[in-house]
Amino acid sequence: MLVTNCNSLFIEKEAIDYMSVKSDRYVSYKGIECEKNAAKLVALLRRHIDDPDKNNAFWDKFKGLLADSENGTGKDYLFLIHSYINNIQELFELYEDEEALKLLHQIEVECC
């Protein structure tokens, strides 16, 4: 049985204080900033795909999808990250971008 109130989650008469629980999308989205982190990741991604020496036809097409997202006619950043997570991970690994890989993993765990 699951009963909730403003600050606690009750599961079979055990109270769990949200503030003491690590963020977990299966319990609550409280404390998880999916959209903010997705925007940060896109900024990290652009450092690579906007560089002509690192770009290719795939990333040119992907930049078009990002533009559609930014003007409101396409999928949001989180959807694009989820859909192309393997391509994005491969790019970050290729350029040894540990900061971006860490954030990508966080987004995958918390938001996808």
**Residue 22: per-residue pLDDT:** 61
Residue by residue, what is the 3-state secondary structure of the chain? CEEECCCEEEECCEEEEHHHCCCECCCECCCCCHHHHHHHHHHHHHHHHCCCCCCCHHHHHHHHHHHHHHCCCCCCHHHHHHHCHHHHHHHHHHCCCHHHHHHHHHHHHHHC
Q: Measured between alpha carbons, how far is 96 from 55 in angstroms, rounded to an integer?
A: 16
pLDDT the model gives residue 9: 42
Query: What is the model's pLDDT at position 77?
Result: 96
The pTM for the full model equals: 0.74
Q: What is the pLDDT along the chain (112 residues), one digit of tens a residue?
A: 444 444 444 444 444 454 454 665 555 667 789 999 999 999 999 999 999 999 999 999 999 999 999 999 999 999 999 999 999 999 999 999 999 999 999 999 998 7
The answer to whether 23 and 31 have CB atoms below 8 angstroms apart is yes
